Chain A
Amino acid sequence: MESLTGQHIILIIHYFFFVYGFLAIGSYLFLTVVSAFETSEYVKKNKFVDYSEILASSISPSISIIAPAYNESLNIVENVRSLLSSHYVNYDVIIVNDGSKDDSLELLINAYDLVKVNYLVNKQIPTKPLRAGVFKSTNPAFEKLTVIDKENGGKADALNFGLNVSSNQYVACIDVDCLLLEDSLQKMIKPFLEATDHKVIATGGVIRIANSCTIKDGKLLDVNMPKKMIERAQILEYLRSFLLGRMAWSRLNGLLVISGAFGLFDKKIAIEVGGYDTKTVGEDMELIVRMRRVMEEQKVKYRVAYIPDPLCWTEAPDNYRIFISQRNRWTRGTIETLKMHKKIGFNPKYGALGLLSYPYWLIFERLAPIFEVVGIIYFTVLMMLNYVRWDFSLAFFSLAYLFTLLLSIAAIYSEELTYHQYKKKGTGFKLLLTAILEPIVLHPFVLYAAVRGNYDYYFNKKKKWGVMQRKGMGTTAT
């Protein structure tokens, strides 16, 4: 009897993993198909867009680029120059120096002829106070630049200060070390201006990896494939995430996250919902979820839009230590956001947000690493008890591996058929090789970071952002 119960339990566990795996594969397949439709439609429609008209128009809406900076003295002068070189007419740049301990402020003052000015801040969102004050340039060439020096309060607090200071209709919140292409703003503003029967509350952009790319004077000159496998694997991972996953969720109007590295927001709505939450490390995701939640509660017809063009390039971790720290933070951010907004989950009152996006994130993003670890432990126990049917296991491993590989190839196809950024001979082979190796060279670390993230969230509450050491994109790379 006992053994019969045990067999039943084992059978239930087997079916649980089987059904979970089947649903995960099914959902990824579904998202891939949806993204293919969406990408094809986007590319077709984009052929009719003349961005130059918006670019030159003085009646185009005003945008503030808000870039928080903390101890960024290595590249800050070059990075600000890159932000100031946008081709959009009606924009300004707000750099929020968030209590940096280095000489960032002095470097900016000297490079851009800054002087302290009187500035009355509309404190719509509470933030840490000013430190040295607000600075503007005496040089008309840099009239679009405002530098704010405030006491340290974290990235979210710095962004909130920027929201308070901005007098424009839209705000582009970006990481100061990101490289924005010159036509980024007009592409990102388009969904806001095209909407007629609904409100666009935010637009997310694709983040591309700039490691090994040739960059000079804040401009991307040449796209290269990095040598290190960890960097290449992240390129592939980003392609999968941005060109397949987010594109599909955009079509379904179910995007729950806009990368903190580059997103454009309707300032009025962002302020009305209270701005960025300073208590979470996943402030980018949390703000989008909160904005969506408020829109649903107010019964406003809205969208979170997404632009798949490669507009923003950033430096990715080139060693496993920093990579794990970054992913650890992402995991904690996801847990915090989903917990804060648990009311939404499986709640029909929130429509697709409550019944589709939230459950997907909970089951296939939040819980996936936990199920995977439990699966590994369970498999080890079975091995030790000599219960493993190796031929059956091989069948399932093959299926999982081949499916992952197919997804990566689909992402490479999406890139090749649309933006074709990796043009050089041999890069196609390198991408394929990366796709073959990625489940072995990157995934174990992604899993480890997620587990650490869970551990830190529950047992190490003091852990906050972690440090991202930058090598800098300001100089020409090879």
Chain B
Amino acid sequence: MDFDVFVNYYNQLPFLIKVVWIISVILFIIIIVSIFYLKIYRTRLRNSTAETQKLVTEYEIQLINYLYAEEGQEEQNSIIEKLTFCISSKSKRKIIKRVLLKLKKEISGEIAVAIQNLYRQIGLLNFALKKLDHQNWYVVAMGIRELKQFNIKDAHDAILHHVNHSSKEVRKEVQLYLVSLFHFKGLEFLTKIETDLSEWDQIQLLEVLQKNEDQQDVDITPWLNSNNDSVVMFSLKIAEIFNQYEVQNHIIELLHHKNNIIRTKAILVLGGMQNLDFKHEVMNNFEERTLEEQQALFKIFEPLVSNNDEWFLLKYSEHYNFEIRLEALRLIKNFSPDKFALFKETTNNGQFLEMLNFLTDN
């Protein structure tokens, strides 16, 4: 009876109000379900953290037993069997990999090699290799990352194949895999890459290269001539960090590159190498160069300055840019104290005098 009253009331409502009530009821149901699910989710999250921790401890003990048992012993075989069985579960596979990686980081030498062998023996390698052909970028990137972490060099060709993958993350993992495992030889991807290397990628790769004790010789000339500006920039950074003096002439050519950032970096790199040949080239067409290039020259100028450059310093001691003006005056103070003193006596410009006074005191 009551329900009929409610239905009759609802039926006589205008359309708009009916819609509002329907939406409200739907929202109410969604909210109730969401609240219950949130409760379940939070509880599950807490429980799974405890369960994961339990499994981590369990596998850690098994793996340590395996590593310190004598090779070929029954104990080792039984652990391999047990782990091989466990990896069929995705969550357990994840935990086993985590524990293996943790142990790999903590130990070195033969035992580290044993971990790598175990990784292959229990079948984890096959799972990782399968990921490389997956359609989802996330899975591919995960696979490459895992192969890098476990030092699997055999996957080189399959991974290099992804060097121009549509996903930035996959490309990044490919680059890190190659450089982490093959060091300077891994830089071969620079000739194949069709996309830009971001500054973030470059810093990461350079850090990996710097950590490598085996500083192999590498010819960066082809990359300095690359059509990909980011590859040229990266090569300039390699030249700078690894003191590639033999490519100085190629770098001088880059002073005429179409990209201002590359020209600026070339000035900084050549300055760091204390190359004198490029100095006059930049000084002679200083006015035509961009502000960034001009600032770069003054930044690295001090060790390159000779007495013959006094005209240049005097000319630009009144440059519109603060940093250039300050640096020019500082160099004048060091190389021509008399001229500097004369400036102080003759200037009426308050800001200029402030700069001169600052330099006198410092």
Contact = CB atoms under 8 A, between A and B. Distances in A.
Interface string B1-39: 000000000000000110011011001101100110011
A44 B137 CA distance: 10
B17 A395 contact: yes
A416 B43 CA distance: 12
A106 interface: no
B16 to A, nearest CB: 8
B169 interface: yes
Contact of A399 (B24, B41, B206, B230): B24
Interface string A407-438: 00100110010001001010011001000000
Give the residue among A45, A48, A403, A413 with the most B Cβ atoms within 10 A: A48
Given A57-B207, A406-B31, A398 B38 contact: no
Interface in A146-199: 190, 192-197
A409 B241 contact: no
A102 to B, nearest CB: 30
A409 B208 contact: no
B35 A432 contact: yes
A392 to B, nearest CB: 6
A56 B207 contact: yes
A199 B173 CA distance: 24
B203 A409 contact: no
Interface residues of B, number: 47
A253 interface: no
A205 B38 CA distance: 26
A395 B355 contact: no
B203 A60 contact: yes
B352 to A, nearest CB: 12
Contact of B203 (A122, A124, A193): A193
B259 interface: no
B31 A53 contact: no
B296 to A, nearest CB: 14
Nearest to A428: B42
Contacts of A229: none
A61 B198 CA distance: 13
A432 B27 contact: no
A249 to B, nearest CB: 22
A122 B358 CA distance: 12
Contact of B38 (A54, A195, A197, A412): A412
Contacts of B138: 44
A187 B170 CA distance: 20
Given A48-B173, A50-B204, A57-B206, A395 B21 contact: yes
B24 A402 contact: yes
A426 to B, nearest CB: 10
A59 B172 contact: no
Interface in A249-307: none
A269 to B, nearest CB: 14
A423 B196 CA distance: 41
A194 B196 CA distance: 10
B85 interface: no
A371 to B, nearest CB: 19
B349 to A, nearest CB: 14
B237 interface: yes
B35 A120 contact: no
A398 B27 CA distance: 10
Nearest to A52: B207
Nearest to B205: A53
Contacts of A61: 199
A406 B198 contact: no
B257 interface: no
A391 B45 CA distance: 43
B204 A416 contact: no
A199 B178 CA distance: 28
B58 interface: no
Contacts of A122: 322-323
B45 A196 contact: no
B288 interface: no
Contact of A395 (B20, B200, B208, B230): B20
B147 interface: no
Interface string B155-170: 0000000000000110
Given A193-B198, A396-B20, A399-B27, A118 B34 contact: no
Contact of B362 (A56, A59, A118, A197): A118
B226 to A, nearest CB: 15
A60 B204 CA distance: 10
B351 to A, nearest CB: 8
A118 B359 CA distance: 10
A395 B14 CA distance: 12
A192 B198 CA distance: 10
B361 interface: yes
B145 interface: yes
Nearest to B208: A53
Contacts of B206: 57, 59
B38 A403 contact: no
Interface string B182-213: 00000000000001111110011011100000
A432 B35 CA distance: 8
B318 interface: no
Contacts of A391: 17
Given A190-B200, A402-B24, A48 B358 contact: no
Contact of B361 (A118, A124, A420): A118
Given A59-B237, A395-B20, A405 B31 contact: yes
13 contacts: A50-B204, A53-B208, A57-B203, A57-B206, A59-B203, A61-B199, A118-B358, A120-B326, A392-B17, A395-B17, A396-B20, A416-B41, A432-B35
Given A44-B138, A416-B45, A428-B42, 13 more contacts: A48-B172, A53-B207, A197-B196, A391-B17, A395-B17, A395-B24, A402-B28, A405-B31, A406-B31, A416-B38, A416-B42, A429-B39, A432-B35
User: 10 closest A-B pairs (Cβ-Cβ)?
Assistant: A196-B196, A193-B200, A402-B27, A120-B358, A193-B199, A53-B207, A122-B322, A395-B20, A398-B24, A53-B204
